[in-house]
Amino acid sequence: MHKIPITPIMKPSEGSMGSTGTWRIVKPVVQHDKCTYCLQCWLHCPESAIVRVDEERKIIIDYNYCKGCGICSDVCPVKAIIMVEE
Ligand code: SF4
Ligand code: SF4
């Protein structure tokens, strides 16, 4: 199988207000059985919080920087990302 390396366009980092993960009131959760590995979520995340795909091709979100905006959930073509209250 062809392996696509996933490298963030930008690495997330703390700003003057600290880590954006502290802003979050809802959290994206990936339903891996639905994910088709299209990487639209990775492309659109404004915080570069979708950091990598693990060995099993699972999307990994860095919750230290995910601010819970829900863009990843909105752009996912198969609705594999649900937003849940924390
Ligand atoms: S909820 Fe927003 S910040 Fe968090 S992973 Fe999705 S697009 Fe990125
Ligand atoms: S947008 Fe949805 S289907 Fe595509 S990689 Fe992300 S979670 Fe998977």
Instruction: Walk me through the domains of the chain, giving residue ranges and CATH numbers.
Output: 20-85 (3.30.70.20)
- pLDDT exceeds cutoff 90 at 9: no
- Residue whose CA is at the smallest distance from ligand 1 atom 3: 66
**Separation between Cα atoms, residue 53 and residue 83, nearest integer Å:** 19
- The confidence score (pLDDT) of residue 8 equals 52
How many whole angstroms from 16 Cα to the centroid of ligand 2?
31
Average pLDDT in the 32-43 region?
Answer: 93
> 44-84: per-residue pLDDT in tens?
999 989 987 767 778 999 999 999 999 999 999 999 999 99
Q: What atom of ligand 2 comes closest to residue 30's alpha carbon?
A: 7
- pLDDT exceeds cutoff 60 at 17: yes
DSSP strands (E only) in the chain: 26-30, 50-53, 59-61, 81-85
Average pLDDT in the 12-21 region?
Answer: 82
Q: Which ligand lies nearest the alpha carbon of 62?
A: 1
Q: CA–CA distance from 15 to each of 12, 21, 28 (Å)?
A: 9, 11, 22
- The confidence score (pLDDT) of residue 3 equals 56
Is residue 70 in contact with ligand 1, taking CB distance under 6 Å? yes
Yes or no: say if 80 and 39 are a contact pair by the CB < 8 Å rule: no
Is residue 50 in contact with ligand 2, taking CB distance under 6 Å? no
